[in-house]
Chains A and B, each alone.
Chain A
Amino acid sequence: MNLNENYKLPETYETPSRFRNTIGKYTIKRNSNCISCGLCAKLCPYGVHQRYDNYSKPIRPVEHKCIGPICKENSYYCIDRCPQKALTLRPNPILETMGDYRWTSEMLIAHFEMAETGSLPKVNLEYDLGNSGGGFDKIRFIKPDQHKYIDISDDKIDTSVQLNKTGDGRPIKTISIPCYGGGMSYGSTALPVMVGRARAAKRLNTLTCTGEGGYPPELLPYKDHVITQVATGLFGVREETIKYCPVMEFKYAQGAKPGLGGHLLGSKVTPAVAAMRETVVGSSLFSPFPFHSVYSVEDHKKHVDWMKEINHNVLVSVKVSTPTDVDMVAVGAYYAGAHIVHIDGSYGGTGAAPDIAKKNIAMPIEYAIPKVHNFLLNEGARDKICLIASGGIRNAMDVAKAIALGADGVVIGTAELVALECVRCSNCESGRGCARGIATTDPELGYMITEEYAEQRIINMYMAWRKQWCEILRGFGMKSLKELVGRSDLLVHLDYLDESERKKYKPAPNIQMVI
């Protein structure tokens, strides 16, 4: 039930991995005893074993589709049924080398699967919780009252977010999912990735953001779904790029590097990037901090007015990080006339940032959301501004928890890249950039990805997430995600429960990792 009645959610369809060998939770090996009888291919309903009519030799199993030892209960369990006992099944040891405390290997693999199929994974993977031991990973939704459950289909549930609540006569922009794409600049990500994200945003009726590296002309066909970011470097910001956009975003700070400007290291400044940013090829680009024309809320208002004057229909978003006075900053943004205040927590993603900043500066988003939400409530301003959160929001449950803590919607960056098979190896910033063709400006690597692939994988992931949101809402008897905003009474934190209560909830993963 979207406000735009003509809008239909996009279709999902299978968009396989770009890579020959996928990574799964389990590994299945076929030894030389195999006589290629084809029984396993006939038996497996998940498509782990494949066989083609005109090719009789055994093919390596598609491991990531295997549901593992749990399958033993089934009559089609290939390991037991193989007449030659040629198959072995084990947990995949490579998982230990993948992921980290925040994005565990299982969460990564699950998102690959969602992006491939548009559905939630069939394999038993923990994709709702990371291993960080705090914040979202310790927060759970309470067990809903069974009597409240409403049995309606997903398409009857409203997951839209209204971006303009001010009633100032500007468009009431509505996005159909509670997420839009975070700023990733021309220079930090490959052009097909940028365009793919914009195409996905168009089909999902949401938005994506240019980042601070300028507005490539390839985005123009999708301009109604592209936010123009104005950051401190002002790279590629022109009057026409403000005129194109439905929403413009002032980036005061970024969660991953609060108080520091953007970093684009020299090796990623190719001739095309340099031309877009009007800079020198190969020269590292460090955006200044802060806006040198903004030293007060009044200065900020001047900026907001300036943008509103250039484009009479534009909505203004103010992106700030999460200092100790984030609540005051948010209310300042509101009084300056912003439509959206976007708070970016300290554990957010980036193309390049000093490790010391990522870990230490500013507070995690889990604290900032209720702090800002409650402050705006007390100020009587909450229903006049759209509160968007980002920075370390990794999966559908994090989105729902962020909304229950008080956000209207969220901005997603890393998860979209994970849908494109980012493994979070952290090498986005160096040399030719991402070896997997995502965060790179290298012409050769950039063509590892097609726009169509990026578009569909991102759509698939969001549509899988939507299924989870709908299930949560049905459980609580809600028909719209808007009803969930600020419902922190529906949340519990494991560390705040006594032991007996805590046992009723899924325990927080607690695995010692080597990082």
Chain B
Amino acid sequence: MPKKYHIYVSPVPPRLNPIGKYTTIEFREDCAGSCRKCVKKKCIYDIFKNNYLHMSTMEEPEYLYTCNSCFRCVQECTKGIFSRVINPEYRALGDKYWTPDIIYKTWFQAHSGKIPVSGAGYRGPFVGYGFDSMWTDMSEIVRPTRDGIHGREYINTCIELSRRPLRLSFNDDMSLATKVPPILEIPLPILFQQPDFGVLSPNILISIAKAAEKIGTLMFIKAKDITSDLIPYVSNLIPCINKNNFRDYTEIIRMCRMVEIDYEQGIKDEISQLRQINQDLFISVGIRVNKEAAQSALEIAQKDIDTIHFYADNNGQEYDSENPLFIKEKIREVHLALVKKSIRRKVNLLFSGGMAMAEHVAKAIICGADGVVIDHPLLIAMECRMCYRCKNGLSCPSKLEEVEPSYGSQRAINLIGAWHSQLLEIMGAMGLREARRLRGEVGRSMWFEDLEKECFGPIFGKRQVSLN
């Protein structure tokens, strides 16, 4: 049995005060002054501990960021001077897709490397957009025991990025006649890519590359951005090139294991030229998710390539459409098109865009992806607020330009460690011990539309309102 894969996390505190959801406010003019029952002394979370200290140093009070919303100060103050509001800075985090909750929990995971655990039940909407309209299955009894995060039987999260022969042939003496292509395997179905915006200082890219190396995954990066500082990590980098510029990077192509070439009509020759530069090279073809995604996948899959990497937009939507579909639907479409033509096994499918939470990894794989590629969660791990100021040339409130690789890489490792643990939890609940078996296993999931039709249809008839 191979050595058990493990991501080593260690706490990395944030550089700045994290933005908490709630802020306690107090009307001090009504304070009794010398009250012996002052609730600030009784706070079980000690959030008021440095209350006076920060006043004297004129710093922002910590309790603005650490309230755990138990309401005891509000309800027990003898003068009733406490109230609470939602921290306006918290509201300003992210956008409709990258919600404050996602950002806040990503910070927690990057800080601690732990999975978010909380008490009380689920707090969100019944059903939502995109991945929030499906649930994963679980098994009551008949199943292997789980590994989970607590370590028992091994759950394998490896995936392959290399092509496979569609069939094997044998010689008369029963020896293998088919030349089996080399295998490229990574230990978890999550790859990194260079974000398309943000303060992408050299240190940020080094942090991501270093994290990829430690974890054993790969990072998609524009070939032009591979500087000498990144060369030590080159075997974990996938330079992104195109038909016109790949000859400029022959040296890098020789050093790395995999490259990605932009999809264009007639790239067949370029693919063979790439193989001439590096015979052991694995080739990914990068293409945007649009209406023709499935058709393009069928064409590309016929070529001598290993992986197709589909790019959706930052919110997981297809490009070039007035009514864009979400990536969940597009994965399904592409996967099924390849299955139908019996070519799915030959190539691997990676999807990027909108992969914001650990659950998206499992759900994307259930829909038919082999793995997912993430970018912005890595920036958020380094305390990005998704405020988009950098897009307008404004300064970064999280000072991403000051990120040190030791800090940045460990925060990214912590995040992926937490995501990996959550993937194990979901697979463990399903009773699956092999991430590759999860691919396209929609039978191990429940979809809103299906449940409504099956459970509510016989009672209520036909649904008149669509989900979105």
A associates with B: yes
Q: Which residues of A have CB within 8 Å of B118?
A: 352-353, 355, 358, 426-429
What is the CA–CA distance of A446 and B45 in the complex, to the nearest angstrom? 16
B391 at the interface (CB under 8 A from A): no
Contact with B along A282-311 (1 / 0, CB 8 A): 000010111110111001100000000000
Q: Which residues of A have CB within 8 Å of B85?
A: 93-94, 96-97
Contact with A along B299-315 (1 / 0, CB 8 A): 00000000000000000
Which one, A79-87, A193-201, A361-369, A474-482, is touching chain B?
A361-369
Q: Which residues of B have CB within 8 Å of A320?
A: 140
Q: Which residues of B have CB within 8 Å of A21?
A: 74-77, 80
Q: Known: A370-B456, A425-B68, A493-B460. Contact between A101 and B139, CB under 8 A? A: no
B44 at the interface (CB under 8 A from A): yes
Q: Which residues of A have CB within 8 Å of B99?
A: 515
Q: Are A495 and B86 in contact (CB under 8 A)?
A: no
What is the CA–CA distance of A100 and B152 in the complex, to the nearest angstrom? 36
Q: Known: A291-B141, A355-B116, A370-B456. Contact between A424 and B123, CB under 8 A? A: yes
In the complex, what's the smallest C-beta–C-beta distance from A18 to chain B, in angstroms?
9
Q: Which residues of B have CB within 8 Å of A324?
A: 137, 443-444, 446
Contact with B along A337-363 (1 / 0, CB 8 A): 000000000111111111111111111
Which one, A33-41, A169-177, A237-245, A259-267, is touching chain B?
A259-267
What is the CA–CA distance of A138 and B459 in the complex, to the nearest angstrom? 14
Q: What residue in chain A is nearest B134 (Cβ atoms)?
A: A360
In the complex, what's the smallest C-beta–C-beta distance from A407 to chain B, in angstroms?
13
B454 at the interface (CB under 8 A from A): yes
Q: Which residues of B have CB within 8 Å of A219?
A: none
Q: Are A100 and B71 in contact (CB under 8 A)?
A: no
B342 at the interface (CB under 8 A from A): no
Q: Which residues of A have CB within 8 Å of B146?
A: 259-260, 289
What is the CA–CA distance of A107 and B127 in the complex, to the nearest angstrom? 20
Q: Are B148 and A260 in contact (CB under 8 A)?
A: yes
Q: Known: A97-B69, A296-B142. Contact between A23 and B74, CB under 8 A? A: yes
Q: Known: A356-B426, A362-B137. Contact between A495 and B464, CB under 8 A? A: yes
Q: Are B122 and A290 in contact (CB under 8 A)?
A: no
Residues facing B in A414-435 (CB within 8 A) are 414, 422-432, 434-435
Q: What residue in chain A is nearest B118 (Cβ atoms)?
A: A426
What is the CA–CA distance of A22 and B71 in the complex, to the nearest angstrom? 10
Q: Which residues of A have CB within 8 Å of B444?
A: 324
Which of B75, B118, B425, B443 is most buried by chain A, counting CB atoms within 10 A of its CB?
Answer: B118
In the complex, what's the smallest C-beta–C-beta distance from A136 to chain B, in angstroms?
9
**Using a Cβ–Cβ cut-off of 8 Å, how many residues does chain B contribute to the interface with A?**
80
B105 at the interface (CB under 8 A from A): yes
Q: Which residues of B have CB within 8 Å of A202?
A: none
In the complex, what's the smallest C-beta–C-beta distance from A326 to chain B, in angstroms?
8
Q: Known: A21-B77, A496-B462, A515-B101. Contact between A436 and B70, CB under 8 A? A: yes
- Which of the residues A96, A496, A515 comes within 8 Å of B123, measured between beta carbons? A515
Which of B454, B456, B458 is most buried by chain A, counting CB atoms within 10 A of its CB?
Answer: B456
Q: Which residues of B have CB within 8 Å of A138?
A: 126
B422 at the interface (CB under 8 A from A): yes
- Which of the residues A20, A392, A426 comes within 8 Å of B75, measured between beta carbons? A20
Q: Which residues of A have CB within 8 Å of B443?
A: 324
Q: Are B141 and A367 in contact (CB under 8 A)?
A: no
What is the CA–CA distance of A355 and B84 in the complex, to the nearest angstrom? 25
Q: Are A355 and B105 in contact (CB under 8 A)?
A: yes
A91 at the interface (CB under 8 A from B): no
A55 at the interface (CB under 8 A from B): no
Q: Are B115 and A356 in contact (CB under 8 A)?
A: yes
Q: What residue in chain B is nearest A510 (Cβ atoms)?
A: B125
B138 at the interface (CB under 8 A from A): yes
**Using a Cβ–Cβ cut-off of 8 Å, how many residues does chain A contribute to the interface with B?**
105
What is the CA–CA distance of A348 and B70 in the complex, to the nearest angstrom? 21
Q: Are B117 and A435 in contact (CB under 8 A)?
A: no
Contact with A along B4-28 (1 / 0, CB 8 A): 0000000000000000011000000
In the complex, what's the smallest C-beta–C-beta distance from B38 to chain A, in angstroms?
13
Q: What residue in chain B is nearest A391 (Cβ atoms)?
A: B121
B218 at the interface (CB under 8 A from A): no
Q: What residue in chain A is nearest B150 (Cβ atoms)?
A: A286
Q: Are A425 and B71 in contact (CB under 8 A)?
A: yes
A402 at the interface (CB under 8 A from B): no
What is the CA–CA distance of A366 and B451 in the complex, to the nearest angstrom? 10
Q: What residue in chain A is nearest B133 (Cβ atoms)?
A: A134
What is the CA–CA distance of A357 and B427 in the complex, to the nearest angstrom? 11
B276 at the interface (CB under 8 A from A): no
Q: Are A425 and B70 in contact (CB under 8 A)?
A: yes
What is the CA–CA distance of A296 and B76 in the complex, to the nearest angstrom? 53
B266 at the interface (CB under 8 A from A): no
Q: Known: A19-B76, A290-B143. Contact between A357 and B429, CB under 8 A? A: yes
What is the CA–CA distance of A371 and B458 in the complex, to the nearest angstrom? 10
What is the CA–CA distance of A292 and B152 in the complex, to the nearest angstrom? 12
Which of B101, B139, B141, B362 is most buried by chain A, counting CB atoms within 10 A of its CB?
Answer: B141
Q: Which residues of B have CB within 8 Å of A103?
A: 123
Q: Are B122 and A346 in contact (CB under 8 A)?
A: yes
Q: Known: A60-B80, A432-B44, A493-B456. Contact between A350 and B141, CB under 8 A? A: no
Which one, A8-16, A159-167, A205-213, A250-258, is touching chain B?
A250-258
Q: Which residues of B have CB within 8 Å of A366?
A: 455
Q: Are B138 and A491 in contact (CB under 8 A)?
A: no
Q: Which residues of B have CB within 8 Å of A348?
A: 121
Q: Are A101 and B124 in contact (CB under 8 A)?
A: yes
In the complex, what's the smallest C-beta–C-beta distance from A346 to chain B, in angstroms?
7
Q: Which residues of B have CB within 8 Å of A286?
A: 148, 150
B2 at the interface (CB under 8 A from A): no
Q: What residue in chain A is nearest B81 (Cβ atoms)?
A: A21
Q: Are B119 and A134 in contact (CB under 8 A)?
A: no
In the complex, what's the smallest C-beta–C-beta distance from B271 to chain A, in angstroms?
39
B168 at the interface (CB under 8 A from A): no
Q: Known: A23-B71, A374-B458, A491-B459. Contact between A258 and B138, CB under 8 A? A: yes
Q: Are B141 and A370 in contact (CB under 8 A)?
A: no
Q: Are A354 and B430 in contact (CB under 8 A)?
A: no
Q: Are B138 and A423 in contact (CB under 8 A)?
A: no
Q: What residue in chain B is nearest A359 (Cβ atoms)?
A: B122
B296 at the interface (CB under 8 A from A): no
Q: What residue in chain B is nearest A422 (Cβ atoms)?
A: B120
Q: Which residues of B have CB within 8 Å of A360?
A: 135-136, 359, 362-363, 426
Q: Are A435 and B72 in contact (CB under 8 A)?
A: yes
Contact with B along A115-143 (1 / 0, CB 8 A): 00000000000000001111101100000
What is the CA–CA distance of A370 and B453 in the complex, to the nearest angstrom? 12
Q: Which residues of B have CB within 8 Å of A296?
A: 141-142
Residues facing B in A393-445 (CB within 8 A) are 405, 414, 422-432, 434-436, 439, 445
What is the CA–CA distance of A101 and B455 in the complex, to the nearest angstrom? 23
Q: Are A252 and B141 in contact (CB under 8 A)?
A: yes
B394 at the interface (CB under 8 A from A): no
Which of B99, B138, B139, B446 is most buried by chain A, counting CB atoms within 10 A of its CB?
Answer: B138
In the complex, what's the smallest C-beta–C-beta distance from A338 to chain B, in angstroms?
13
Q: What residue in chain A is nearest B146 (Cβ atoms)?
A: A289
Q: Are A423 and B121 in contact (CB under 8 A)?
A: no
Q: What residue in chain A is nearest B79 (Cβ atoms)?
A: A60
Q: Are A359 and B140 in contact (CB under 8 A)?
A: no
Give 14 A-B pairs besides A17-B75, A133-B127 with Cβ atoms closer than 8 angstroms: A19-B75, A97-B22, A132-B125, A259-B430, A288-B145, A290-B141, A323-B137, A346-B135, A355-B117, A360-B136, A364-B126, A371-B454, A430-B119, A496-B461
Q: Can you spell out 9 A-B residue pairs with CB atoms less than 8 angstroms apart?
A: A21-B77, A101-B125, A296-B142, A324-B137, A355-B105, A356-B357, A361-B138, A435-B45, A439-B119
The 4 closest A-B pairs by CB, nearest first: A259-B429, A428-B119, A134-B126, A435-B70
Identify the A interface with B (CB < 8 A).
17, 19-23, 60, 93-94, 96-98, 100-103, 131-135, 137-138, 252-253, 256, 258-260, 263, 265, 286, 288-292, 294-296, 299-300, 320-321, 323-324, 329, 346-364, 366-368, 370-371, 374, 391-392, 405, 414, 422-432, 434-436, 439, 445, 488-489, 491-499, 514-515
